[in-house]
Amino acid sequence: MIHDDVVGNAPALRTAGLGRRYGHVWGLRDCTLTVPAGAVVGLVGPNGAGKTTLLQMIIGLLQPTEGQLEVFGETTRANSAKALARVGYVAQDHPLYRDFTVADMFHLGRAMNPSWDQGVATARMDALGIPLKRKIKGLSGGQQAQVSLAMALAKRAPLLALDEPVSSLDPIARLDFMRELMAAAADTGVTVIVASHVVSELERLCDWLIVLTGGRMQLAGPVDDLLAAHRLLTVPRATRDAELPGLAIHRADSDRHSTVLVRIDPARLAAQERREWGVEPVGFEQLVLAYLQRPSGASTDNPAQAAARPGPATKEVTR
C-alpha cells in the first residue's frame, strides 16, 4: 500500500562491490547482493562486523568509499533528501530527544518528512497505551523503541532499516517489539532490514538472511533457499573435507564421527552420498551460527592482503 512511488520491479536494494573504509580500516568490503522488494531481511553478525556501516550507507547517512548502491533502482547519494526519504531508520538504542514529549517527537517527524502519516504514529501509540503527552525520558526502554518504530513507519518510506532494535530491551519488550514489527511488515508490505546479533529474534521474522563477519559478507539469500542448500552430515571422523559433497562450513569432531555443516552441491550429493552418513536438514539458527563461527576468509584491517585475494567470501557465497 505504501509502494506507489516504487519504480517497476526494481529490487529494494542492490549493491556491487560496496565498501566503506574508516581511515585505514575497512568497516565493510566487497559487499554484492540484491534484495527483492518486500523481503524481510535479517542482517546478522557479531559487533563490529559492519552491520551499522551497511545500514548507514543504505540510509544515506554514510557515503560509500567504493562500489555501487541502489535503493529501489536509484543510486543513493549520501545526504540527499531523495535518498533519505526512501528509508525509515530506527538507529541503535533508538535515540530520541529526552526532553521532548511523544507528541513533540511526532511533530518533529511531521515537520521533517513530507510523506509523514500522523495517523499511523498516533494510532500505534493508542494501541500500545503510550500517552502522547508523556516525556520521552518518562518512558521505558521498550516504549521508547516503540516510539522510534512508530516514527520510522509514519515516515512511510518503502524501506525500513533497524539497527539492533531490541538488544537493549528486556525479553518481554523484545517480544512486543518484534510482534509489532512483523505486523507492520505484513500490513504494509514494506521491505525491512533488521540488524541484530540476537539470532533467535530473527528466525520468525525474516525470510531473507545476510551474515556478515569482520566486514565481509559470508552468506546472503532467501532463508528457504539457504536452508535447502545446506545439510548437516554425520560422517566418520576420517572423512576429509574434499570427500564431502560440497563446501564444509563448520565441522565438529567427536571421537569417531564428525558433524559437518555442508553447503551441498546437489549433483554431488546424489553421487557421493554414502549409506553410513547421516544427512539432516539444518535449522536457521544452526546455519547462522555455522557461518558466524567460520574463520572470516579475509581480515578487514589489512586491505593489502584483502586486495591480493579478490573477493573471496563474497564470490563463493553469492554464486
Partner 1 sequence: MIWVSWRQSRSQAIACLGVLAALAVYAILVGSSMRTAFSHDGLAACLARSQGTSCPAAVSAFMNKFGSAVNIAFWSVLLIAPGLLGVLVGAPLIARELEFGTWRLAWSQTVPRTRWLAVKLALVTGGLVLLGAAITAVITWYRAPMDRLTGHLINNVYDFEGLVLTAYILCAFGFALLAGLLLRRSIPAMIAAFIPWLAIRLAVEYLLRPNFQAPLTFRQNCASGCSVGAGIGSVPPVTGHIGDWVLGQPAGQSGNQLVSYLYQPADRFWHFQFIEAGLFVALTAAALGAAIWLLHRRPA
Residues that bind partner 1 (CB under 8 A): 22, 56, 59-63, 79-81, 84-85, 87, 89, 91-93, 95-100, 104, 107-109, 111-115, 148, 151, 155
Grid cell in block for residue 291: 557461518
Q: What's the closest the beta carbon of residue 5 comes to partner 1, in angstroms? A: 13
- Are β-strands 87-90 and 246-253 bridged in parallel, bridged antiparallel, or unpaired? unpaired
How far apart, in whole angstroms, are the C-alpha atoms of residue 293 and residue 221? 18
Q: Across 38-163, where does the E strand assignment appear? A: 40-44, 66-71, 74-75, 87-90, 159-163
Nearer to partner 1, 84 or 178 (CB): 84
Q: What's the closest the beta carbon of residue 89 comes to partner 1, in angstroms? A: 4
Nearer to partner 1, 84 or 192 (CB): 84
Q: What's the closest the beta carbon of residue 104 comes to partner 1, in angstroms? A: 6
The one-letter code for the residue type at 133 is K
Nearer to partner 1, 112 or 186 (CB): 112
Which three-class secondary structure state does DSSP give residue 181? Answer: helix
Q: What's the closest the beta carbon of residue 226 comes to partner 1, in angstroms? A: 30
- Measured in whole angstroms, the distance separating CA 267 from the mean position of its chain's CA atoms is 31
Task: Give the gyration radius of the chain's Cα atoms.
Answer: 21
Nearer to partner 1, 85 or 289 (CB): 85
Q: What's the closest the beta carbon of residue 108 comes to partner 1, in angstroms? A: 5
- C-beta of residue 1 within 8 angstroms of C-beta of residue 51: no
Q: How many residues does the chain have?
A: 319
Nearer to partner 1, 49 or 91 (CB): 91
User: Cα separations (Å) of 297 from 195, 226, 289, 292, 319?
Assistant: 22, 20, 16, 12, 16
Nearer to partner 1, 109 or 311 (CB): 109
User: Cα separations (Å) of 288 from 81, 172, 259, 319?
Assistant: 35, 24, 16, 18
Q: What's the closest the beta carbon of residue 287 comes to partner 1, in angstroms? A: 31
